[in-house]
Structure 1
Amino acid sequence: MKILLTNDDGFDAAGLAAARTTLIQLGHEVLTIAPARQKSACAHSLTLSLPLVFKPVSESFYALDDGTPSDCVYLGLFEFYKDFKPDLVISGINHGSNLGEDITYSGTCAAAMEGALQGIKSVAFSQYYVGDSLSGLGFELACEVVKSVVKSVQNGAIKWGEREFLNVNIPAVSLSEFKGFRAVRAGKRRYDTRASVGVNPRGVRYFWLGEADISYEAGLGSDLDAINAGFASLTPVKMDMTSYESLEGLRGICE
């Protein structure tokens, strides 16, 4: 297959390198276009106020200066796929999970969303970690999950609808402890608004996000439950965000 690969951790991220190596070893033709800098939690943003430049990294591998993951997919299709579309857009392997409402923040998921909007089958892969488990376990299990999912997409065993993408999260366990896959709904997370506060050398007060406590509602049979039980979660995500239940009530008011 012809695969467009990107991420939100940047072109030099270990997860991206692991995914690229895995896909090439499977015999696929992989074009990698990734942000030149860290773009985590940038969501589905496009860069409209700055010029964007492709910087070659190696053969079929580019860093997009100032670009977001969505930019990478959008401009990758514009510049390199003029006469045809890739068979698959893959985003990841992300350093950290994208579970529940994380999907709305995630640049990893946004790249897959952009692929889906362009009519291409798209998958987001994210490696959950606890403490130093990412440095201890690496991406061995994640690469095996990528292999399994991509093969199943290629042979038609895994399917999902148009204008949808597949969100895959890998648990923080070793390959020998891995329990398999679960097809599950997106869970419910609880977020606070805590941030670190400091003062720069010029006396200006600043804020640094990223320390908020995040918990989740257990027992829903969700992606969060699956990951915490040692399974990889498979969640199809669709673009239609309409609340049809509330829509009926609004129609009654308008009539």
Structure 2
Amino acid sequence: MKLYKRNLMKILITNDDSFEAKGLEVLVNAVKDLGEVYVAAPAFPKSACSHSLTITKPLRFIKVADNFYKLDDGTPTDCVYLSFPEFFGGEKPDIVLSGINHGANLGEDVTYSGTAGGAMEGALHGIPSIAFSQLIKSYDNPPSEIDWDQAAKAARKITKAVLDGKIKIPHRHILNVNIPNTKKIKGFKFTKLGYRLYGNDAHKHKNPRGEEYYWIGLHPLAFKEEKGTDFDAIKNGYVSITPIKLDMTGYEALNELKNTDLGDL
């Protein structure tokens, strides 16, 4: 394996749409002049796998091209975790990028997102990490119909700002970036997570043997209308940049609960 060059920024890229995804290709090409890029991506799509780590079976890197590997049935988190000994001799890259996801990761959807999960693994290890997602009009809308040039420019600009120190990502935080599906992006907005409205889209069927099974569907993007959110920014044609911290403690609730007396056990 080719060892990294110490005089170049070390950039690790993963995703959750698999090593063959168009968004991954776009992200690699967008940042390849900013440092030495290594890619570790799942061999198969891993959407909605969240921040999951595989501990019940062995995993194997398979070389696709120079500095480009797929991880056989691994998650984005696995890819980042195993890249440290595989690519960097136990050291760490300067930045972890995850994406560009085919579809939004807005509001509480980040808790499902394998794209966000890959970035979270980088943040756990003290590495500046960014999750990128590209909105699509529908899941029938093929990646070839997306204006990936705009996505590439946005991803490169944000990545460069982090590497240059213009944007400082706090310890154990990630940046969650969503790029609108529009002919012209108006700019960038720093936002908070929106309030996602959920339902249940489970479809029950029978296979040819008469056995019942469920297929979980997809919901339309529905949010509470609120200024300053990632959804509001995207809706109005802006790239949304949301800082997310891994400490999920509900501090307001904690302060109230501290006064709760449960008595003796």
Q: Is the 8 A contact 1:191 1:214 kept in 2?
A: no
Which one of 33, 41, 50 corresponds to residue 48 of structure 2? 41
- Between 1:32-41 and 1:199-208, the stretch displaced more is 199-208
One-letter code of the match for 1:100? G
Residue number in structure 2 paired with 1:76? 83
Q: Is the 8 A contact 1:97 1:129 kept in 2?
A: yes
Q: TM-score, normalised by structure 1?
A: 0.95
Q: Helix, strand or coil for the counterpart of 2:260?
A: helix
Superposition deviation, residue 254 in structure 1: 4.3
**Alpha-carbon distance in 2 for matches of 1:83, 1:196:** 45
Is 1:157 matched with 2:161? no
Cα distance change of structure 1 residues 133 and 54 upon mapping to structure 2, 3 Å threshold: closer
**Alpha-carbon distance in 1 for matches of 2:77, 2:43:** 13
Q: Percent identity among equivalent residues?
A: 48
Superposition deviation, residue 48 in structure 1: 0.8
Which one of 208, 221, 226 corresponds to residue 201 of structure 1? 208
Which one of 55, 58, 69 corresponds to residue 65 of structure 2? 58
Q: Is the 8 A contact 1:96 1:128 kept in 2?
A: yes
**Alpha-carbon distance in 2 for matches of 1:197, 1:116:** 38
Q: Helix, strand or coil for the counterpart of 1:161?
A: coil
Superposition deviation, residue 245 in structure 1: 1.1
Q: Is the 8 A contact 1:192 1:213 kept in 2?
A: no
**Alpha-carbon distance in 2 for matches of 1:51, 1:121:** 28
How is 1:130-149 mapped onto 2 (pairs within 5 angstroms)? 130-131=137-138, 132=141, 134-149=143-158
Superposition deviation, residue 134 in structure 1: 4.4
Residue number in structure 2 paired with 1:116? 123
One-letter code of the match for 1:232? V
Cα distance change of structure 1 residues 226 and 201 upon mapping to structure 2, 3 Å threshold: same
- Between 1:51-60 and 1:206-215, the stretch displaced more is 206-215
Cα distance change of structure 1 residues 160 and 106 upon mapping to structure 2, 3 Å threshold: same
Query: Could you report, residue by residue, the CA deviation over 1:101-122 in whole angstroms, capped at 9, with x for unpaired residues?
Result: 0100000001000000011000
How is 1:1-255 mapped onto 2 (pairs within 5 angstroms)? 1-24=9-32, 26-131=33-138, 132=141, 134-174=143-183, 177-254=184-261
**Alpha-carbon distance in 2 for matches of 1:51, 1:224:** 39
Q: Is the 8 A contact 1:196 1:211 kept in 2?
A: no
Q: Is the 8 A contact 1:186 1:222 kept in 2?
A: yes
Query: Could you report, residue by residue, the CA deviation over 1:41-78 in whole angstroms, capped at 9, with x for unpaired residues?
Result: 00010001111000110100110001000000001113
Q: Helix, strand or coil for the counterpart of 2:170?
A: coil
Unaligned runs of 5+ in 1: none
Deviation >4 Å, runs of 4+: none
Superposition deviation, residue 249 in structure 1: 1.9
Q: How many matched pairs?
A: 252
